[in-house]
Amino acid sequence: MKLDRLGDFQRTHRNGDLRLDHVGQTVRLLGWCRRVRNLGSLVFLDLRDRWGLVQLVANEETADPELLAKLKAVRSEFVLAAEGVVAERESKNPNMATGDVEIRLTGLRILNTAAPLPFPLEDEGVGEDLRLTYRFLDLRREQLQRNMLLRSEVANLTRNHFRELDFIDVETPILTKSTPEGARDYLVPSRVHAGEFFALPQSPQLFKQLLQVSGFERYIQICRCFRDEDLRADRQPEFTQVDVEMSFVRQEDVQGVIEPLMVKLAKVVGQDVTAPFPRLPYRDAMEWYGSDKPDLRCGIRIQDATALFAASGFNLFRAAAESQGQRRVRALYFPGEAAGAMSRKQLDALQETAKQMGAGGLPYAKWGKDGLASSFKKFLEPADEATLKTHLGVEGEGLALFAVGTDAQTSRVLGDLRVKVAADLAFFEKDESIRRALMDEGTFQFLWVVDFPLLEWSEENERFVACHHPFTSPHPDDMDLLETDPGQCRAVAYDLVLNGFEVGGGSIRIHDAETQSRMFRAIGIGEAEARTKFGFLLDALAFGAPPHGGLALGLDRLVMLLAGVDNIREVIAFPKTSQARCLMTNAPGPVDERQLRELHLLPEARQTYRVGAVFFESAEGGSAELRGQALQQISQLTPRQAQGLVTLDPNGQILDAQTLSGPTFEF
RNA sequence: GGGGUUGUAGCUCAGUCGGUUAGAGUGCCAGCCUGUCACGCUGGAAGUCGCGGGUUCGAGCCCCGUCAGCCCCGCCA
């Protein structure tokens, strides 16, 4: 098909903006054909641009035959420039923003054709591998256009927010140094320095701290970070971080800068949230919610029920009560008729889930229409039941689930079931207030989890490792524990949590060399090692480092939650699959051997040198040093007639040498 | 590294107990159609049943392996 040129065509309006006010005006529009409806001598076409959709029309009576023929040749996703007059429609479409008007065509340019798309843009259920292979088409879909627009809006609001607060945006290196602690690094081989590597940043952590030493006081960067770890629905190997660092601040100061930003961002998607957000110590979060990132849309709390079973006939529970706190009985109580109506089959399914999370079983007590049903009913005297009901706060119907074990075990199981079960029950629960208590869908529940432990014991490394990172300040009240009981030492570290997702994390940093040394010592990094790995940081701390702290927000995850989608790929233009591939570009891919050699990742190939007493040169390149070696070899081999072919391996070892007869001038 | 799940026409899917020529909707192509807007009607083309092997008289279906997508555990300072 012969294409038209854009030429001097100038767009006069955005397609989505046209209204009855425009009737009578001649307009020039650009965009893609969403669909043609050809009724024979009357043809409709929906033209889409970034701002909306408008209907074009032409008919046999009024339109130029050539124009009509051209219009009929248009297929979905052709790129068009259209000129026409805005007219009120004969039959209006109330489902369309521009549904009152249409454009009576007076001119049409086909700027480009389009092959039939591999998948329909309207369809929601298209396979994700296909969508990722043709991501440029996928991004034409309304949902992704909306998501990318939202993301852009969030980034702009964020920049403006920090700009108003006098933060400075500083770029930090992408080619940087591998950090020994934490996630696996993506490595970049250095061509100039054989055998050495850059690492892509997991975060600009040290740089932003050094910028505080430099005196910038308030730093912000929206930057890409990289972690070579396995993916999840909310985790990509490269991701964007809103990176913040401030001098002369306490934890509350950092939080006080972030909270109003969250209020603004929530507002973009019509959510009213109020600052300050609740602060929840890590210990309470684990005790009440079994998670360090609790979803507070669910109001149910884990309760300790150990003491109730001190004299129980149920051995499992009594043994825990007698374990002196080593093991406990903890419970979740879900009120409501939906909970009381849980079937045996559903409870069995829950038990399976619990077992997969490492629980031995899932004892339950259910108060339904027919009274009490329980997996340990035979051990429950009427008096015990009454105590249990009082303790758990049972009124009317409901379901209690129990877990027995160490705190870590029971937290994990109950923390997970808390949200899962509550969400399921809320779906069926008829009582509005109970439903809200179970799961208040459609709200944003921010909170800060604070007072994280500074260190945790790593079985793998047989030493303590930093929970957050090794630059996190110990809690001032716990400073002595660093040496006496490191596991109990709290950190001045805080996570921002939204609806069960960690959307940010930060800490007050260590700003004096002595504390930093104590920290390194606590995690088994010796003085020499600290010097090699973090020498520049230790130096910096020695030259007037101000007290400082900050935080990083996961922009992708935040936008995901704002967009109300359950996958981070939906808010990233060109994401990787869960196997860390790009299906569109097929990255990562193999590279030429030549490239590998340049990067010193493959040994240099064997090389044959033509050498002679008068001059020598390489036949196919080779290395200058080895040419000299080849010459030496041939002169030893044939002292009088030093000319020939010498093949050396990359280390200069002779693989083959032969003399050539006669003078060497013919080279 | 481990577990689960999916893979059939361009797309979304159905496919019974292992049994004749693997179907539907949609998209695509052609024709008709003056008020459509998921236009309608008629006709047509379209398949390496992810790939490889095995069992069987016979495999889309059963078995083994493998690849890819998705979810989870480990991992993610």
- List bases in chain B with any atom under 7 Å of a protein Cβ: 1, 10-13, 26-29, 32-40, 68-77
Judged by C1' against the alpha carbon of A91, the nearest nucleotide is B35
Average pLDDT over residues A113-121: 95
Least confident range from A167-171, A214-218, A639-643: namely A639-643
Give A196-212 pLDDT, tens digit per residue: 999 999 999 999 999 99
Read off the pLDDT band of A639 (50, 70, 90). low
Residue A646 has pLDDT above 80, yes or no: no
Q: How far is CA A42 from the centre of its chain?
A: 49
Residues 454-473 of A with CB under 7 A from strand B: 460, 465-470
Mean pLDDT over residues A348-358, rounded?
Answer: 84
pTM here is 0.90
The pLDDT of residue A667 is above 50: no
Q: Which of A386-400, A480-494, A652-666 has the lowest mean pLDDT?
A: A652-666
Judge whether residue A94 contacts strand B, using its CB and a 7 Å cut-off.
no
**According to the model, what pLDDT value does residue A618 have?**
47
Query: Residue A358's pLDDT is what?
Result: 79
A249 backbone dihedrals φ, ψ, rounded to 5°:
-125, 155
Which letter, b or e, does each residue of A263-286 get, where b requires 16 or more Cβ atoms within 10 Å of its Cβ? bebbeeeebebeeebeebebeebb
What's the mean pLDDT in A361-374? Answer: 93
| Paired residues of A242 in beta bridges | A222, A553
Buried b / exposed e over A139-159, threshold 16 CB at 10 Å, is ebbeebeebbebbeebeeebe
The DSSP 8-state label assigned to residue A657 in this structure reads: E
A581 touches strand B (CB under 7 A): yes
pLDDT, residue A519, reads 93
Q: What is the pLDDT of residues A410-461, one digit of tens each?
A: 999 999 999 999 999 999 999 999 999 999 999 999 999 999 999 998 887 8
pLDDT at residue A55, as a whole number: 98
How far apart, in Å, are the Cα atoms of A97 and each of A16, A25, A53, A563? Answer: 7, 18, 8, 22
Report pLDDT for A345.
Answer: 83
Q: What is the pLDDT of residue A664?
A: 44
φ/ψ of A644, rounded to 5, equals: 170, -170
Q: What is the mean pLDDT of chain A?
A: 91
Model pLDDT, residue A602 = 85
> Where do we find the tokens 């770029």?
A171
**What would the pLDDT profile of A127-142 be if each residue is shown by its tens digit?**
999 999 999 999 999 9
Residue predicted with more confidence, A301 or A617 = A301
Separation of CA A23 and C1' B46 in angstroms?
45
pLDDT in tens, A59-86: 999 999 999 999 999 999 999 999 999 9
Distance (Å) from CA A127 to C1' B18? 30
Cβ atoms of A108 and A70 within 8 Å: the answer is yes
Instruction: Compute the distance between CA of residue A68 and CA of residue A318 in angstroms, rounded to an integer.
Output: 86
Is the pLDDT score of A662 beyond 60? no
Interface predicted TM-score (ipTM)? 0.94
Q: Which nucleotide is nearest to A505 (CA to C1')?
A: B77
A125 contact to strand B (CB, 7 A limit): yes
Answer whether any strand B atom is within 7 A of the Cβ of A84.
Answer: no
Residue A666 has pLDDT above 50, yes or no: no
Q: What is the mean pLDDT of the segment spanning A616-635?
A: 64
Q: What is the pLDDT, as a whole number, of residue A637? A: 66
Asked if residue A616 has pLDDT above 60, the reply is no
Task: Assess whether pLDDT exceeds 80 at residue A655.
Answer: no
Whether the per-residue pLDDT at A351 is higher than 90: the answer is no
Q: Is residue A528 over pLDDT 50?
A: yes
> What type of residue sits at position A662?
G
Residues A542-589 pLDDT 10s: 999 999 999 999 999 999 999 999 999 999 999 999 999 999 999 999
pLDDT, tens digit (0-9, with 9 covering 90-100), for A216-238: 999 999 999 999 999 999 999 99
Q: What is the pLDDT of residue A638?
A: 61
| DSSP conformational letter for A519 | H
Question: Residue A254 belongs to what H/E stretch?
Answer: helix A251-268
Which residue did the predictor score with more confidence, A124 or A26? A26
Residue A622 has pLDDT above 70, yes or no: no
Residue with CA nearest C1' of nucleotide B3: A356
- Statement: residue A311 has pLDDT above 50: yes
Q: What is the pLDDT of residue A558?
A: 98
